[in-house]
């Protein structure tokens, strides 16, 4: 579903804005931001504090082009290693293919401070737009995005208030959808396994949705197993072994993503668990490699490619009557039961 409003993009901030905010000359501001050494520490700190609070990003385009933007779209995602975001990037690249705009990618590693660094660097080249994963940002990142003076599209998540436009799914609703499927299939003792839960806001929302959905049926999560590192088949096997050793009577395991879910499935099949009869399993994302497993893991298709296409279309002004900014597109994820949930 999409709602639009006429664009009200703000003008990019200038040296004068920073100068007025901290009470020093534009020349001094310029010296500080170019890391010149002929500025006192106190003045340097005053300028840097003001620039950060405002969200000011220096312009790295050559002087003759300083008033222009380049035909680049900044795309900032948490990871390229878990098979999820490459499909998003493919959708973005495909949609921008005939627009003259070129995507450039930055990776944050799910770290808020790294997102600040990547944003600062990318916005300094004055891209024509920015696509960034997630709705949660530091105050400094939010200030930079709000004052960039370009279309901003936050992607993957619709549970929150966007800075400008948003394209995504409700992860809380996805968690509730999985809870309904689990309960309908007759499972009652459920465990949740997740990676990077402290930094992955969307996985936490799915866990909350799962918890809320189970509560509607008078059920609670029996156990959880978290890992702070990345996702991998081996880690999924280890986490599954750990949680089942601790709670052998669990009858369903819901994983925060397909990668660790696939590792868990391989472990359970190797150890002779009756899947899905005695133990059901499900992941999240709907990645293609699931079709190559001995059994197809139940999952939820997160509409990754379509999210990329829709976000790029908004940046390029396609299908919006030329209006850029203020759009909200919420896609509906699809539950794929596969072979690891009992037929209800």
**Confidence band, pLDDT 50/70/90 cuts, at residue 196:** confident
Q: Residue range 23-30: average pLDDT? A: 80
β-pairing, 72-77 vs 334-336, is: unpaired
Q: What are residue 300's DSSP bridge partners?
A: 335
DSSP reduced 3-state for 299: strand
User: What domains sit in the chain, N to C, each tagged with a CATH number?
Assistant: 2-169+305-333 (3.40.50.2300), 171-303 (3.40.50.2300)
Q: Angle 41-54/139-146 helices, nearest 10 degrees? A: 70
Give 308-320 pLDDT, tens digit per residue.
Answer: 999 999 999 876 5
Q: Residue range 80-92: average pLDDT? A: 88
**Confidence band, pLDDT 50/70/90 cuts, at residue 120:** very high
Q: What is this structure's pTM? A: 0.82
Whether the predicted pLDDT of 321 surpasses 80: no
How far does Cα 83 stand from its chain's mean position?
13
Give 213-248 pLDDT, tens digit per residue.
Answer: 999 999 999 999 999 877 789 999 999 999 999 999
pLDDT at site 66? 47
**Confidence band, pLDDT 50/70/90 cuts, at residue 8:** very low
How far does Cα 10 stand from its chain's mean position?
25
**Confidence band, pLDDT 50/70/90 cuts, at residue 125:** confident
Do 192 and 210 contact (CB within 8 A), yes or no?
yes
Whole-number Å distance between alpha carbons of 256 and 267? 17
- Neighbour order of strands in the sheet with 190-195: 223-227, 190-195, 252-255, 280-282
How many CB atoms lie under 10 A from the CB of residue 294? 10
pLDDT at site 341? 97
Whole-number Å distance between alpha carbons of 71 and 7? 19
Give 201-213 pLDDT, tens digit per residue.
Answer: 999 999 999 999 9
The string of DSSP letters for 185-249 reads TT--SEEEEEESTTT-HHHHHHHHHHHHHHHTTT----EEEEESS---HHHHHHHHHHHHHH-TT
Dihedral in degrees, nearest 10, Cα atoms 304, 256, 165, 163: -150
Q: Residue range 271-275: average pLDDT? A: 97
Is 181 exposed, middle or buried (CB count within 10 Å of its CB: 0-12, 13-18, 19+)?
buried
Give φ, ψ of 191 to 5 degrees. -120, 155
**Confidence band, pLDDT 50/70/90 cuts, at residue 69:** low
pLDDT at site 192? 98
Whether the predicted pLDDT of 178 surpasses 90: yes
Compute the mean pLDDT over every residue in the chain, rounded to the nearest whole number.
89
Structure tokens at 169: 């799914």
**Confidence band, pLDDT 50/70/90 cuts, at residue 14:** confident
Do 338 and 298 contact (CB within 8 A), yes or no?
yes
Q: What percentage of the chain carries pLDDT values higher than 90? A: 65
pLDDT at site 23? 86
């Amino acid at each position: 579903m999409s709602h639009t409003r006429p664009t009200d993009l703000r003008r990019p901030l200038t040296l004068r804005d920073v100068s007025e905010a901290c009470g020093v000359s534009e020349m001094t501001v310029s010296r500080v931001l170019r890391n010149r050494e002929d500025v006192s520490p106190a003045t340097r700190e005053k300028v840097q504090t003001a620039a950060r609070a405002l969200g000011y990003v220096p312009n790295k385009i050559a002087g003759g082009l300083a008033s222009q933007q380049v035909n680049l779209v900044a795309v900032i995602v948490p990871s390229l290693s878990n098979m999820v975001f490459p499909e998003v990037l493919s959708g973005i690249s495909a949609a921008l293919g005939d627009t003259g705009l070129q995507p450039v990618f930055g990776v944050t590693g799910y770290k808020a401070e790294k997102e600040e660094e990547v944003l600062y660097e990318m916005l300094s080249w004055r891209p024509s737009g920015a696509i960034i994963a997630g709705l949660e940002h530091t105050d400094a990142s939010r200030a930079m995005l709000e004052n960039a003076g370009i279309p901003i599209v936050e992607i993957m998540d619709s549970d929150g208030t966007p800075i400008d436009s948003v394209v995504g799914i409700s992860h809380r609703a996805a968690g509730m959808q999985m809870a309904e499927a689990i309960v309908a299939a007759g499972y009652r003792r459920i465990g949740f396994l997740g990676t990077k839960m402290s930094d992955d806001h969307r996985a936490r929302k799915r866990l909350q949705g799962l918890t809320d959905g189970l509560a509607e049926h008078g059920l609670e999560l029996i156990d959880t197993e978290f890992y702070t590192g990345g996702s991998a088949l081996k880690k999924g096997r280890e986490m599954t072994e750990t949680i089942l050793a601790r709670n052998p009577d669990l009858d369903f395991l819901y994983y925060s993503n397909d990668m660790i879910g696939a590792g868990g499935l391989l472990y359970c099949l190797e150890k002779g668990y009756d899947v899905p009869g005695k133990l059901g399993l499900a992941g999240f994302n709907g990645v293609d490699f699931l079709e190559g497993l001995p059994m197809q893991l139940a999952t939820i298709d997160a509409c990754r490619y379509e999210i990329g296409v829709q976000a790029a279309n908004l940046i390029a002004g396609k299908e919006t009557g030329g209006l850029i900014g203020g759009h909200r597109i919420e896609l509906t994820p699809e539950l794929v039961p596969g072979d690891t949930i009992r037929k209800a």
